[in-house]
Every structure is written in C-alpha cells, then in structure tokens.
C-alpha cells in the first residue's frame, strides 16, 4: 500500500510541472518517515522509506515517459 500511495504522489508531482513540486514531494515523504521514527516506540524499518521513494520515483518517471510518448504522437 505504501508503494501504490507513493506512486500516486509521484504522478501528482509530475502533473504540477514544477521542479520545486517534484523535489518537495520526495522531501515530504522523507520528513514523514523521520516523524514516524521520532514518535514511534519501535522505529519503522528503513526498507519502508526506500519502498516509498522507489514508488514515488516510478510514478514520476512513468508520468514523464507517458507525456513524452503523447507528445511524439502529436508531432
């Protein structure tokens, strides 16, 4: 579920068409993980952060590839 949510966040960051928006999305995922580590009695595994960042990147990259394919069809 973390992977799917992060993928959707990556797609939403791509839709903003802003470099700040894409960097901010990855930063907010990392900040949320740090808050979970700070507030939790047992810290979550680091693998969940890596899965979330991987999903974010996959969503963002898949959006960019889809956008590029659609632009090539128009030309």
How far is it, in rounded angstroms, from Cα 71 to Cα 40? 46
Instruction: Read off the pLDDT of residues 22-65 as tens digits, 9 standing for 90 and up.
Output: 899 899 999 999 999 999 999 899 999 999 999 999 999 999 99
Q: What pLDDT does 61 receive? A: 95
75 pLDDT above the threshold of 80 = no
Q: Do the Cβ atoms of 44 and 36 come closer than 8 Å?
A: yes
Q: What pLDDT does 47 receive? A: 95
How far is it, in rounded angstroms, from Cα 75 to Cα 60? 23
Q: What pLDDT does 21 receive? A: 85
């Amino acid at each position: 579920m973390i992977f799917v949510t992060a993928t959707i966040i990556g797609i939403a960051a791509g839709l903003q068409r802003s470099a700040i928006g894409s960097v901010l999305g990855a930063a907010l995922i990392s900040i949320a993980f740090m808050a979970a580590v700070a507030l939790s009695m047992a810290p979550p595994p680091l693998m969940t952060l890596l899965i979330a960042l991987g999903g974010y990147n996959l969503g963002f990259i898949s959006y960019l590839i889809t956008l590029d394919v659609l632009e090539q069809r128009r030309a």
